[in-house]
Amino acid sequence: MIKKAAIAISFITLFSGIMLSRALAADPLKTGVLLPLTGRHAAIGQIQKNAVQMTIAEINARGGIKDRKIEAVLADTKGTPDGGRAAIRKLLQTDNVLVISGGFSNSATWATSAIAQHSRIPFVVTSASADKITEQGWEYVFRLNQPLGERLEALASFLITTASDIKSVAIVQTQSLQSSAAARRFSIRSDALGLVLVTRERFETGVPNLSQTLVRVQTKNPDCVYAIADDASSAAMLVRQTRALKLNPKLFVGEGNGFEQTDFLSQAGKSYNYIVNTALWTPLVPHRGAAAFNKRFIARYKTPPGRYGAEACAGIMVIADALKRARQLTPAAIRDALSRTDMMTLLGPIKFVAYDNKSQQNKLPAYLVQWINAKQEIIWPKEFATHKPIYTPPQ
């Protein structure tokens, strides 16, 4: 009798395992992911791709969602509006995805968001920051990351409080539409704070030397230099030559993709010490899973994920949570589940809310980070700080 019972239990266990394996092997939950896999943002797209694939592999290893695997269907936007339109149409018309994540380039994401809304397919934007994306009242478009209009909040509050003796600023920027837009935003904000803009210098990406540009800045003796660069080479050259000229403002702030790219540090050498950056994420944030994700990503891909990898990971986590809670696995039911999201991720709390002119926008703080003794530290806001700011750094 005992032997028969043991055989029955073994059979049930084996049968259950087979059924679970079959469930996970069949009918995966297709999730579209829009990425710039080619074009000038391809390096960022690769980081996002790696983060998505690693996160999905971990979710599937835990049993997937409702005993079904998630499948990432990647689509290359090329970082352009036309590329974005072609990519999302492929996801919708050929791949038949249930939901979409991703979006880096503002222009490409603006184009794809309109199509997602028209097609009534939920789209979780993870990195694109143009304010207008969540100002259209689109019910199928959600955004995790901070919009552009809020990116300067941490720096502004720091200038009002800790750095209240700063009275003048200089802007040095690469000659591009993106850098010019960032310069305008900072100029407007600094003017509102009562700061005097003493000069605004522009230079072309790829120029071999910036000494003449920086000498003009030096003659104005600004309290703060706000540097904007689209690529790591320009950002590194800016800080190297600033140090070489002994241009030592009380505060040097680096802005733009150039200061966020992983090869900025290797190209800048020791010159990056004491540089302050506005950051939208860092593995130092005290959110569950942030440090562990950073460690796993580096172990697997030999490079840090940065905020783009973290945002891509969080996008998949949010979609997985919505798939789990959705009453039906249909785009409409998934949209409804997304609208009720209330969870903690490595980015921080995720809850899509309406405020100002925005709807279905998650609200996260921006941070100020500073490189101190070859280590990145959060210096602002105070409640997240890992180190006191080194203000008016040594020569």
Residue 374: DSSP 8-state: T
Give residue 392's pLDDT band: very low, low, confident or very high (50, 70, 90).
confident
In this model, does residue 3 exceed pLDDT 90?
A: no
For 2, the token pair is 């005992």
Neighbours of 300 (CB within 10 A): 13
DSSP 142: E
DSSP 146-170: PPGGGTTHHHHHHHHTTTTT--EEE
pLDDT for position 257: 82
Q: Give the rounded percent of residues in the chain with a pLDDT score beyond 90.
A: 82
Instruction: State pLDDT tens for residues 9-67.
Output: 454 455 444 444 444 456 899 999 999 999 989 999 999 999 999 999 999 999 999 99
CA–CA dist 206, 218 (Å, integer): 22
* Burial class of residue 86 (count of CB atoms within 10 Å of its CB; 0-12, 13-18, 19+): middle
Q: Which residues contact 359 (CB under 8 A, 6 or more apart)?
A: 134, 135, 137, 138
* pLDDT tens for each residue of 110-119: 999 999 999 9
Q: What is the pLDDT of residue 20?
A: 45
Look up the CATH number of domain 8-147+286-361: 3.40.50.2300
Q: Count CB neighbours of 209 within 10 A.
A: 10
> Cβ(55)–Cβ(311) under 8 Å?
no
Instruction: Classify residue 75 as exposed, middle or buried by CB count within 10 Å of its CB (0-12, 13-18, 19+).
Output: buried
User: What CATH number should be reported for the domain whose range is 152-279+367-384?
Assistant: 3.40.50.2300
Residue 328 and residue 326: Cα distance in Å, rounded? 5
When pLDDT is averaged across residues 222-241 and rounded to a whole number, the result is: 93
The per-residue pLDDT for 26 is 64
Q: Which residues contact 195 (CB under 8 A, 6 or more apart)?
A: 159, 166, 167, 168, 169, 224
Domain boundaries, the chain: 8-147+286-361, 152-279+367-384
pLDDT at 395: 66
**295-347, pLDDT tens digit by residue?**
999 999 999 999 999 999 999 999 999 999 999 999 999 999 999 999 999 99
Least Cα distance to 172 among 132, 212, 112, 125 occurs for 212
Average model confidence (pLDDT) across the chain: 92
Tens-digit pLDDT profile for residues 66-121 = 999 999 999 999 999 999 999 999 999 999 999 999 999 999 999 999 999 999 99
Structure tokens belonging to residue 380: 């602002």
